[in-house]
Structure 1
């Protein structure tokens, strides 16, 4: 018997050495998207790849090819070499048939998906239940597998200035491998209470900790990389909305295929694969497991293949009492994809280098990936829940920032991850040694235009300015900060113009009435200059610009001594409000006389009440222990403003009313492109001087030669409209813009192209009351279109616009504007 066993082992070993089992994946050669369920023929047998284009096969004859077939692609013969264990097979489209291929969803599967859509109201917890709540443990981890990183110290060959070849040793990968063997690169955890009723969602963060920070970065706590619900439409991917496959419109974009049926928790489910009808699209691909009885989603897997590869896995538990599949776990993985530019996620925590870099890719950080795991517990369904929303999606409990280590131990996995335990200690030490919290604190301040020095935040925008009237304007300004008091603050500035040889100054003391709604009451006095007919909204955000190009070219200003009393508040949900009473003494710094009721005014006084509101109905907000933060900036956004002069008050000279409106809508696409629409309109009734009319942000110099008019491009300004060319007491303007992905022209030359069209219409009723400054009316409309080539090199770019339509000028050259653009990435 033992001889029979011996010969059996010998024979089995011989067979094993005579074949190699390989793992392979089939992908599109251009997009690198896997080709699902492709046919693989070998030695007369056929097998089918998985939905991720993967398959395994034993190779016994190396001189016989694998024959790969996929509809719309060229058939490919692949020969496997001995000792090859992992193979990537790239398929090229068949140009003769690809565009003609039309793949339709099978009618049976189409009916199944239609039932999923029709039964959402019974299966989606938010629609099927009156209310529910649960706690959720979420862990975000940035890490790498040490085994995937080469620990070799690689030689790097370089040449000196004189061409001499030198060799240096690069130990970057070696050091990186040693680091990720000890601890993860980054991690943060939170426990939140999710509550829902028919009024909406509310999330309360009851515990959180973030490696390297004593106080968490609140913006990260509001980061939602993927939708919580598989039924949401639009579906959120990396905070970009996409069409959900199980929506009515989604059925027009995706094809569905029945793959199999299997049991999950003793319930029969259908396994359905979906992919975009346009195979080369970067839209969602995935698997849906559909309950055969209720037509609910019992499990879901999603994949995105693009500049980064995203894997999202959703699992559910069947709740017998409610007859409902409720979320059990959500896991999201973000890996390097097919990218042209370097990609940074969470600052520099994850960095993927360009896939088109001409040098061989030995960057160990390309092995880095991000994982988010979310696990519900303490689930209570159909429990009476009271949600105090008031426009706040996320609230953070102050006590949740100080949880002890013992609190977090109950969330530890069964298998202790030693690297996870070391990460907090390691990153806390690193953060302290590099003073990371201080740097991030500074970054936030600078983005808002300040630099903190002791009890004063220095106003960076007041230091140096330039315009054609003042020349260089040097100044100093600031505002007291929390180190002095959290209840009151004093803002101040002083400036001197070299050309006009005049001082300007202002001071604004403020008192905090209500910390929760950030309601401030302020008094202010200023003696300064203003651009004539400038369109401004009091609620516009204050963002820091190292330079503001458009004012450089302005030469027409008026002196403005203003005393005001105003209130700013975020009391109303998703709004910012501003109410002010002000008195302004106006002195035009140009040749101008306003004739009103047979009286000629060279200078005049305006006393008015102003109310402004910024309404962001689609944005989501977070309430932290310190302030309210707009965590999801969604569009459209709306700005309203009303200004009404007060007759016979503080020597007011004119009676007029101004009503202004603005809306901005930006549409980001998963491909990285974006479209935007800006609509503005305003109307002024009564006796309005030229200084307070509308001039629509012109940005073209009054010079004859084209080259003499080359200056810096503004933001949302009319580049071919000359300064002081048009004025209106009522107007409407529309700006359309589409921005494409950056184009790689050469190494480090990756411009970003945008197509822009701008239109304006205006009217003026009392044109003959304005003396001294000639101008035209916009009754016939104004049109310009152009191309922006931004970020061409080190932030510099060039734009070109052309003016056309009824107000086109006789000379072609006068209708063309060429400008320099400049974008600065502050890195925050």
Structure 2
């Protein structure tokens, strides 16, 4: 009897509480909750797409979990950056990784503080002890890109170790023009047999003090302000990126004086029905005393094996599939890539493979090859040409690619001019 009495009391209290609820207010509250949930979901998916696993105060960086290359073997670790839940005015970032083949740790630690919210201006400080691919070049203003794994990274074997202290300034000049300036002091140590000859001296390790200015101009993109932040809503083309690097000798014991100019433009033509054409022009010029670590390759992606099937690996996104690793280096070069994406084949609702027609060209040269001792390579003074196709999205993001090398660098053994590989195009 007592239990029934208490149950009746609770039922009355519940009824009275429900009677106090205004249906309109309840509807508004539900709408607000749905909006909040939708915003949280969007932010979560955006972070995952950039390779971050967000938590309340810290976003874990998925790029450092597992990688593989020919020098380190498997490389694994943890990294991340603080988010707005921690602070909207300053941030801390870093990573720690370990290579199982070279049995060595690498790390980076840094932080930044925001100077101006309206122009998204940040000052950053970073200390890094890590590896970098020799001959690679990266624009400071490039957007962060994440994929489950980086296909080309699997076969890279030519790295140099660097300890770099840097200070940089990120600034949005306008919505269409991004800038980043960096000053860095580095100690560079090639992990392979290499000597750089300069003024009668031989350098196998060296110090560099460099200043960089990078600009990215997207004149045809459309932007919106979302949650007090400017976001690119329509990705307009063409896009232009330029960067100048100056190494200053004798500043902080820097050994060499050289200048680098880098440029890239991307044009994309949408034909509708998921058919589009993408054109990419990249160029670089280095003058002065530049060691091979800071010169250019054309992003080769072919390993030196005897047969086609032994060379079977994974194709890169914008690499030369028939060009062997470490085959060419240049102090001035240009590449042009043409990709035409055909309308996907509508085999079924879930199975819609897509064919991509590809042609790539590279041209370059080097003034003083004799300065670079211990490593043999050619130049691109003849036009390097390759063409082929990809059939993507066959199964689980995987597809197949075929490329053929012809023209000035056609090889005497016919089989050596072919590249047959997997493709992988599934990114978050």
**What does 1:70-85 correspond to in 2, within 5 Å?**
none
Could you tell me which residue of structure 2 aligns to residue 124 of structure 1? none
Q: Which of 601, 622, 633 is the equivalent residue of 2:235?
A: 633
Give the superposition deviation at 1:819: 1.1
Asked if the contact 1:451–1:460 (Cα under 8 Å) also holds between the matched residues in 2, the reply is yes
Give the superposition deviation at 1:671: 3.1
Note if 1:759 corresponds to 2:361: yes
1:307-366 alpha-carbon deviations (Å, 9 max, x no partner) = xxxxxxxxxxxxxxxxxxxxxxxxxxxxxxxxxxxxxxxxxxxxxxxxxxxxxxxxxxxx
Give the superposition deviation at 1:441: 1.8
Asked if the contact 1:611–1:642 (Cα under 8 Å) also holds between the matched residues in 2, the reply is yes
Could you tell me which residue of structure 1 aligns to residue 20 of structure 2? none
SS at match of 1:707: coil
Could you tell me which residue of structure 2 aligns to residue 583 of structure 1? 185
1:585-627 alpha-carbon deviations (Å, 9 max, x no partner) = 0000011111111111010011011000001111122233421
Asked if the contact 1:751–1:792 (Cα under 8 Å) also holds between the matched residues in 2, the reply is yes
Asked if the contact 1:748–1:793 (Cα under 8 Å) also holds between the matched residues in 2, the reply is no
Could you tell me which residue of structure 2 aligns to residue 802 of structure 1? 404
1:400-425 alpha-carbon deviations (Å, 9 max, x no partner) = xxxxx99xxxxxxxxxxxxxxx8x88
Give the superposition deviation at 1:776: 0.3
Note if 1:473 corresponds to 2:75: yes
Note if 1:656 corresponds to 2:249: no
Rounded Cα–Cα distance in structure 2 between residues aligned with 1:470 and 1:792: 31
Q: Which of 84, 90, 101 is the equivalent residue of 1:499?
A: 101
Could you tell me which residue of structure 2 aligns to residue 538 of structure 1? 140
Rounded Cα–Cα distance in structure 2 between residues aligned with 1:437 and 1:628: 16
Rounded Cα–Cα distance in structure 2 between residues aligned with 1:742 and 1:671: 8
Q: Which of 299, 309, 312 is the equivalent residue of 1:707?
A: 309
For normalisation by structure 1, the TM-score amounts to: 0.48
- Structure 2: tracts of 5 or more residues without a match: 1-23
Asked if the contact 2:148–2:427 (Cα under 8 Å) also holds between the matched residues in 1, the reply is no
Note if 1:732 corresponds to 2:346: no
Asked if the contact 2:49–2:427 (Cα under 8 Å) also holds between the matched residues in 1, the reply is no
- Structure 1: tracts of 5 or more residues without a match: 1-404, 407-421
Q: Which of 168, 182, 186 is the equivalent residue of 1:566?
A: 168
**What does 1:331-730 correspond to in 2, within 5 Å?**
435-730=37-332
Give the superposition deviation at 1:632: 1.5
Give the superposition deviation at 1:465: 1.1
Asked if the contact 1:535–1:696 (Cα under 8 Å) also holds between the matched residues in 2, the reply is no
Judging by fraction of residues, say which structure has more strand. Answer: 2
Could you tell me which residue of structure 1 aligns to residue 417 of structure 2? 815
Could you tell me which residue of structure 1 aligns to residue 343 of structure 2? 741
Give the superposition deviation at 1:630: 1.2
Give the superposition deviation at 1:430: 6.2
Asked if the contact 1:518–1:571 (Cα under 8 Å) also holds between the matched residues in 2, the reply is no
Rounded Cα–Cα distance in structure 1 between residues aligned with 2:56 and 2:346: 45
SS at match of 2:215: strand
1:499-525 alpha-carbon deviations (Å, 9 max, x no partner) = 101110111110100000000001110
Rounded Cα–Cα distance in structure 1 between residues aligned with 2:158 and 2:341: 33
CA RMSD of aligned residues (A): 1.9
Give the superposition deviation at 1:672: 2.5
Give the superposition deviation at 1:576: 1.1
1:553-594 alpha-carbon deviations (Å, 9 max, x no partner) = 101100010001110111334111010110110000011111
Rounded Cα–Cα distance in structure 2 between residues aligned with 1:492 and 1:787: 39
Rounded Cα–Cα distance in structure 1 between residues aligned with 2:349 and 2:40: 35
Rounded Cα–Cα distance in structure 1 between residues aligned with 2:118 and 2:35: 30
Asked if the contact 1:475–1:496 (Cα under 8 Å) also holds between the matched residues in 2, the reply is yes
SS at match of 1:457: strand
SS at match of 1:477: strand
Rounded Cα–Cα distance in structure 2 between residues aligned with 1:716 and 1:700: 13
Asked if the contact 2:208–2:249 (Cα under 8 Å) also holds between the matched residues in 1, the reply is no
Cα distance 1:473–1:825, how it changes in 2: closer, same or farther (>3 A)? closer
1:415-447 alpha-carbon deviations (Å, 9 max, x no partner) = xxxxxxx8x887667677xx5443322101112
Cα distance 1:487–1:428, how it changes in 2: closer, same or farther (>3 A)? closer
Q: Which of 769, 779, 788 is the equivalent residue of 2:390?
A: 788
**What does 1:206-225 correspond to in 2, within 5 Å?**
none
Give the superposition deviation at 1:536: 1.2
Rounded Cα–Cα distance in structure 1 between residues aligned with 2:34 and 2:163: 51
SS at match of 2:173: coil
SS at match of 1:784: strand
Rounded Cα–Cα distance in structure 1 between residues aligned with 2:363 and 2:35: 55
* Structure with larger Rg: 1
1:349-387 alpha-carbon deviations (Å, 9 max, x no partner) = xxxxxxxxxxxxxxxxxxxxxxxxxxxxxxxxxxxxxxx
Rounded Cα–Cα distance in structure 2 between residues aligned with 1:498 and 1:637: 40
Asked if the contact 1:525–1:564 (Cα under 8 Å) also holds between the matched residues in 2, the reply is yes
Cα distance 1:650–1:671, how it changes in 2: closer, same or farther (>3 A)? same
SS at match of 2:146: coil
Asked if the contact 1:706–1:816 (Cα under 8 Å) also holds between the matched residues in 2, the reply is yes
Rounded Cα–Cα distance in structure 1 between residues aligned with 2:367 and 2:94: 40
SS at match of 1:669: strand
